[in-house]
Amino acid sequence: MTAPDPRSATNPLFNDNRLKLGTFGTNVSNGCAITTVPERLVMNWPNTLAIAQAADRLGLEALVPVARWKGFGGETNFNGTNFETYTWAAGLAQATRRSAVLTTSHVPVVHPIMAAKQATTVDHISNGRFALNIVCGWFAPELEMFGAPIMEHDTRYDYAAEWIDIMKMLWTRDEEFDYDGKFLQVRKGFAMPKPIQQPYPALMNAGGSGKGRHFAAKYVDMAFVVLQSHEVAAGKAQIDAFRKLAREEYGRELQIWTNGYVVQADTQKEADDYLHHYVVEKGDNVAVDTLAAVLGIQSQVMPLELIEQFKFHLKAGWGGYPLVGTPERIVDTLTTLSAMGIDGMLLNWVDYWDGLERWNRQVMPLLIQAGLRRA
C-alpha cells in the first residue's frame, strides 16, 4: 500500500476521495463558456470571491484559475477581463478554509525567485493549501506584451525545467546556491521562510504534446489532460499511457485531472436544449476561432484536424468533457471517468452560482452513494 503523501495533512489535493473536484476559470470574464448569453460570468472581485467561498463550503478540493493577460476578441472578448493569479490566490487563501487555492503561472513572465517567494507566501496564508499550475506560455500576443517573443515549442519546456529546478532549490535548501543553466542563472540564491508543505507545494501542469507529457511526468504531482476522445477505451488508453510514462521513465506516480462543463437539468432534453442554446445559438464564433487557431499551432495539445472538431467543446467549456443531463446521468459519466483513471475533475458552468447550488443539492449525494466521494 502506498504511503499517504505528507502534504495530505494540510492540502486536500492529496485526500482519499476517489474523485476530487474543483472549479475552473472563475478569475476570468465568461469563465470557460465562449458564449454571449446574459447569465455568463461577469468578472469582478465580489463575484469571484462568492464562487470560491461557495465551492469551499461544499468541500471541493481545488480552485483553479486561468492565467490570462489578453482576451480572444469577438463580441465577448473572451477572458479579456481577468485577475492576476498569484494575488487572486492570496486573496482567496485568506477567505477560504478547505479548498486548495492554485496559481496558474506563465513561466516566461515571472522570474523563478519571485515565483517561489509568492508561492511560499500563499502557502503560509492558506496554511498549506496552495498549489502551483505551471504554464509554459503559448498565446503569443500575451508574451509580446512583455517583450518576450514566444519560444519554440520544445524549448519552452527546457526553460520551464530550469525554472522549476530553481524553485525547488529555493524551497528546500537552507544554504545559498549558484545555478548555471542554459537559460537561467542564479548567484547565491536563497529563500526563507520555506513552504509549509514539504518538500514543496503541490504542482500541476497541462502539457499535452510529447515533450509536455515528459515534463509533467518528471516534475509535477497532477497532470491535467484534455481527453482527445470521448470514447471510453480511447480515453483510458490516453490516461494509461501517461501513467506508464511517469512510472517507467521517471519512477513517479501522477494524479490525472481533466475538466468538464456541466449542464444539469431535471430532464435530458432540458439539458440538451440549453447546451444548444448557449453554444450553437449564442456562441462567440470569432473568439473561438482565434482560440482554436492559436491552441492548435502553439500548444500542440492535439492535432489541427481535431481542434476544428473540438470547437463545440471549446465554446461549451474550454474543451472540457461534457457532463450534460440529469444528476443521475452526470454521476454515471463521472463514474465512467473515474474508472478510466481520472483522479480529479475541474468543473465549470455558464452560471457558477446556480450550478454549484444544484450540484450540491442533487449531484453530490449521488457521488457519495457511488463511492466516489466521502460524506
pLDDT (tens digit, 9 = 90+) per residue, 358-373?
999 999 999 999 999 9
- What is d(CA 143, CA 137) in angstroms, rounded to the nearest whole number? 7
CA angle 20, 21, 25 (to 5 degrees): 145
- What is d(CA 93, CA 127) in angstroms, rounded to the nearest whole number? 9
Residue 297, pLDDT > 50, answer: no
Instruction: Determine the straight-line distance between the first and last CA of the chain, rounded to whole angstroms.
Output: 23
Q: What is the mean pLDDT of the chain?
A: 94
Identify residue 201 by its one-letter amino acid code. P
Q: Under DSSP, is residue 179 helix (H, G, I), strand (E, B) or coil?
A: strand
The average pLDDT across 26-46 equals 98
- What is d(CA 143, CA 129) in angstroms, rounded to the nearest whole number? 29
Cell of 261: 462543463
- What is d(CA 104, CA 67) in angstroms, rounded to the nearest whole number? 5
**Residue 49 vs residue 294, higher pLDDT:** 49
CA angle 89, 93, 99 (to 5 degrees): 100
- What is d(CA 110, CA 133) in angstroms, rounded to the nearest whole number? 13
- Domains annotated for the chain, with CATH where assigned, are 6-369 (3.20.20.30)
Question: 149 has which bridge partners?
Answer: none
What confidence tens digit (pLDDT) does each residue in 326-341 have?
999 999 999 999 999 9
What confidence tens digit (pLDDT) does each residue in 57-75 have?
999 999 999 999 999 999 9
pLDDT of 266 reads 98
CB 131 within 8 A of CB 202: yes
Among all chains, which residue has been given the C-alpha cell 506563465?
106
pLDDT band at residue 241, thresholds of 50, 70 and 90? Answer: very high
Candidates 350, 348, 356; CA nearest to 23 is 348
pLDDT band at residue 34, thresholds of 50, 70 and 90? Answer: very high
pLDDT of 298 reads 46
How many C-beta neighbours within 10 Å does residue 362 have? 16
Question: Long-range CB contacts (< 8 A, 24+ apart) of 329-335?
Answer: 329/268, 330/262, 330/264, 330/363, 331/363, 331/366, 331/367, 331/370, 331/372, 334/19, 334/367, 334/370, 334/372, 335/370, 335/372
Candidates 374, 373, 370, 366; CA nearest to 327 is 366
pLDDT of 299 reads 46
- What is d(CA 166, CA 28) in angstroms, rounded to the nearest whole number? 29
Question: Long-range CB contacts (< 8 A, 24+ apart) of 307-316?
Answer: 312/279, 312/280, 313/261, 314/34, 314/288, 315/33, 315/34, 315/35, 315/279, 315/283, 315/284, 315/285, 315/288, 316/33, 316/261, 316/263, 316/275, 316/278, 316/279
CB 26 within 8 A of CB 65: yes
Residue 150, pLDDT > 60, answer: yes
Q: What percent of the chain has pLDDT over 90?
A: 84
Residue 310, pLDDT > 80, answer: yes
The average pLDDT across 4-15 equals 96
Identify residue 288 by its one-letter amino acid code. V
CA angle 178, 122, 4 (to 5 degrees): 85
Residue 179, pLDDT > 50, answer: yes
